[in-house]
Structure formats: C-alpha cells, structure tokens
Structure 1
Amino acid sequence: MAVKFVKICGITVPEQGKAIAQLGATHIGVIFFKKSPRHISLEQIKKIKEVVPKDTKVVAVTVNPSEETVEKLLNIVDMIQFHGDEKIEFVSKYPEEKIIKAFRIKSEEDITRMKPFMEKGYKILIDAFKEGKYGGTGKQINPELAKKVVNSYEKVILSGGLSPDNIENLLNKIKPYGVDASSKLEIKPGIKDIQKVEEFIKSALNFYKKGKEGEPVNKTD
C-alpha cells in the first residue's frame, strides 16, 4: 500500500509547514475561514506555500465559500477542502484532483449525502460531528461508523481527534485511504507540537508502507 494521504492541518507558521513536510506529510492544511482560531490570510497562505517542498501539496480548508474565494485560493494552493454545506452542483465546477469534500458524520444516513461526491470521484474526508462547529474540535469520530464509510468508498480520509496515541489502532481497524490531524497535535490553536507531529506521521507512514514490498511511496496522489 503506497502512502497516499497524510495531512497535517491548521498550519499557520511557514517554518512549521516546511518542517512538517520534511517529516513526511504528503499534504499541509491551511485554514481560510474567519470563524476558525487557525484562520490565516491569503498572504500568509502564500508564504507557507512558498517554503513547502513542491512534492508536498498545500490544501486550503474553507467553509461555504464563494466562487471568487475558491478561485483566489486555487491561484495559491494545490487543493481546496470544502468543509461546509457545499452541494455537488457547486463542487462539481472544480476538477476532482483539486478537491476534498468534508462531511461531519453522526449516523449512517450521512453516507447518503456523500454518494453524489463519490460518484464524481472526489476525495471524501470524514470528521466527527459537533453541533455548530465545522471541524478542529478534537472530538474523535465513531470508529464503527467511519469503517462503514471506508468500506463503501475507496478515497476516504479519516479525521476527528486523531493523535499519536490512537492513530495506530484506528488505522489498523478502519484502514482509510488517508488521515488528517490537527488539534491533538497542537500546543495551542495553529501552533503544532513538532514532536507529536513527528510521532503521528511516523505511525501513519509505517501503516501505509506495510503493503506490497517495493511498492513506491507516492506523495503526489
């Protein structure tokens, strides 16, 4: 199993973005949503993009943006993560290789909402549901529910309360396409504990490298 997607999200400092990429993260996440404590400006996003190695993709996370905002972000970053209530009609304006659609899930009924995006081939990120919050809560996702989503579609990224302490167990149990972590790796919102990040990435890479012997690691998927 090649490494496909190991994302560290909520980066606010260029130096941390560069260091985390060098530790092996395939994707670096930045937040462009003013209600988030990890929100940064377009100018700050540019500075992070400039220092991150080219084989590590920068993903801008946004919530219910306008088309204008999406275009501005795509002029800077590699990918957009829609983390709000965006409909397939809006998301399908953009190529699947540049998009992640996030869902906060609390029941099997939520899988039905994902199906139009699955049919178009978009990467799906699943996060724990918390009323009135669009992510970054540290709340752990229900593993059994997450497993059902992963069993129904190949390109599912697991997030929601992932940490160095639980990542190995959750990966072995759920076996997602990729993982995404943020708040459990922080000293405070937007500032990562690099030791925790290193432990997390190491565990994730070890899991994804367990596949066929000699299969190449792909950091650009």
Structure 2
Amino acid sequence: MQRVTAKICGLSTPETVGAAVRHGASHVGFMFFPKSPRNVEPEQAAQLAAIVPAHVVKVGVLVDPDDEMVARAVASGLDAIQLHGGEAPDRVAALKARHGIEAWKVLSVRTRADLDKARAYKGAADRILYDAKTPEGALPGGMGLRFDWTLLDGFAHPLPWALAGGIDVANVGDAAGRTGARLIDVSSGVESAPGVKDVDKIAAFLQRVAQL
C-alpha cells in the first residue's frame, strides 16, 4: 500500500517552512485569504516558495478568489491551487486550464451527501480534499474541527483525495488507518496559537506520519 504523506498548511515563516521540508512533508501550503490568521501576501509567499525544494509540492489555498488573486498567487511559485470556497466544477476546470497547474477542490463535510458532491468534480479537479464543515460565519478551515470519519466507509472516491480537519499528532495514526487516507493535511494541529506554527509540533507530526 502507498505510504502516508503529509501536507503542512498555512505556513508563513522561513523557520516553519524549513521544519516542514526538513522533517519530510510531501506538500506545503500557503494561505491567500486575508480573513485568515495564516494569510500571506503573494510577495511573502514567493520568498517562502523559493526555499522549498522541487520534490515538495507548493500549494496555494484560496477561497472564492477572483482571477487576479489566482494569477498573483500562482506567480509566487505554486505547483497547485487548493480552492476552499464554493467554486463550481467549471470554475475549477477553467483555473486549472488557464494556469496549467494542479487544481484541488475542498469539500466541507458534515453528512454523506457532502461526500457525494465530489463526483461533480471528476474531470475538473485533480484532487478532492475532505475537510470538516465549519459553523456559519466561521473561517472555512483551520478551526481544528473534524468530521465523522466513518462517513468515508465504503465511499467510492471519484478522484485522488486527501483528509483534513482536526488532525494532530495524537490522532493522525487513527485518521489514516480508519479512512485509508494516503495524504493528510494539517494546519491548526501543529500550531501553538491560531496562525502560529510550532516547529516542534511540525517535527513530531511528520515523525509520526513517517511511522505509518
């Protein structure tokens, strides 16, 4: 079986990017969303992306972005965009075609019906990321919430996929084992405060993932 890998998302400093790379993250994520405590400007992201080696995938997270925002984010050196809003399949496909990089779609999950929405993105997105649905008016992710992983039991995934939502060093083994996820996305689970990544927590998390 394919080994479990991890994306450290919401990085904003050279120290934490370095920790993610050094300890074996397969992906790093930069948040382009002003409402988020993890937000980075494209110029800042470009400086961070420059220290990421080629074998680590650089993902930009955007929420219902306009064309200009996507263009500025991609220009910072991204390998993929992760769309975390209400983007329809045709919007995802259009952005993928325009920029020539991978496009991921986040689905916010509370019920099995939320999972079923993934099928609409076949042929449009490269990957689906299942995350926990957050309360109305809250940030769309990075809240430390998890959904009921049993919802994934027997689900026929239409696309490659990743798991996010309330995952940390204590439960990542259960998350991967219970769901079969081969790519785990973590943000708040490696923070000491909202938006403040902890290099020791990043190291511990990635060391645990390497054991799976």
If the length of structure 1 is used for normalisation, what is the TM-score?
Answer: 0.86
Cross-structure match for 2:21: 21
Q: Is the 8 A contact 1:64 1:83 kept in 2?
A: yes
Report percent identity of matched pairs: 29
Does 1:51 pair with 2:51? yes
Give the equivalent residue in structure 2 for 1:175. 180
User: What residue number does 1:190 align with?
Assistant: 195
Q: Distance in 1 between matches of 2:15 and 2:42?
A: 17
Distance 1:88 1:156 in 2: 16
Aligned counterparts of 2:157 and 2:47: Cα–Cα separation in 1: 38
Given that 1:155 and 1:177 are in contact with CA atoms closer than 8 Å, whether structure 2 keeps it comes out as no
CA deviations 1:82-138 (Å, max 9, x no partner) are 000000111001158511110111111112321121344520001111123310100
Contact 2:19-2:202 at 8 Å conserved across structures: no
Question: Partner residue of 2:140?
Answer: 134
Q: Which amino acid aligns with 1:85?
A: G
Counterparts of 2:29 and 2:37, CA distance in 1:
14
Match of 2:161 in 1: 156
The one-letter code sitting in structure 2 at the alignment partner of 1:58 is K
Cα-Cα RMSD: 1.8
Amino acid at match of 1:84: G
Q: Contact conserved, 1:104 with 1:128, CA < 8 A, in 2? A: yes
Residue 34 (str. 1) matches residue 34 (str. 2): yes
CA–CA separation in structure 1 for the residues paired with 2:88 and 2:189: 29
Counterpart position of 1:205: 210
Please, which runs of 5 or more residues in structure 2 have no aligned partner? none
Deviation, structure 1 residue 52:
1.4
**Distance (Å, rounded) in 1 between the aligned partners of 2:154 and 2:25:** 26
Residues 126, 159 of structure 2: 8 Å contact kept:
no
Identify the residue that residue 6 of structure 2 maps to in structure 1: 6
Amino acid at match of 1:79: A
Q: Which has the higher contact order (CA 8 A, sep 6+)?
A: 1
Query: 1:175/1:187 Cα in 2 relative to 1: closer, same or farther (>3 Å)?
Result: same
Is the CA contact 2:103–2:125 (under 8 Å) kept in the aligned structure 1? no
- How many residues in Structure 1 have an aligned counterpart in Structure 2? 206
